Amino acid sequence: MAGTHPARHAGVVLIVEDDVLLRLITASNLREAGFEVVEVANAAEAVIVLNSMAVDVMLTDVNMRGNMNGLALAKWVHGHGLDTRIIMTSDTVQSLGEASTRIFWPSPTTVMKWNGC
């Protein structure tokens, strides 16, 4: 059909975020941008997804409830040799130790605090 284009697939993004509202908003924005999005609330759920499918990018909160935080999850991904890019976010300032050379983004709630919202 003239004038129609197939949906563009930009890759698979795994969102690991325990804040439900933040996870839903982020997922919606990424889907609108053409990404396939998988949402989970904690690292244990992320490990199940990562063991079952290829993920291009994992967007994870550093501070999560449970036995594994975002830094430990990132180490798990690297330790298992997965070809998954990792973007970590946090609403608190902290030392990242050996992960300090990785990409680290403040969470949207932190950016709003910085801007006086």
Domains for the chain: give ranges and CATH numbers: 12-93+101-114 (3.40.50.2300)
pTM: 0.74
| 3-state SS class at 84 | coil
| Distance separating alpha carbons of residues 28 and 17, to the nearest angstrom | 14
Confidence (pLDDT) at 80: 96
Query: Helix count (H) and strand count (E) of the chain?
Result: 4, 5
84 and 77 in contact (C-beta within 8 Å)? yes
Q: What pLDDT digit, counting tens, does each position of 60-85 carry?
A: 988 888 899 999 999 999 999 999 99
Q: What pLDDT digit, counting tens, does each position of 33-61 carry?
A: 999 999 999 999 999 999 999 999 999 98
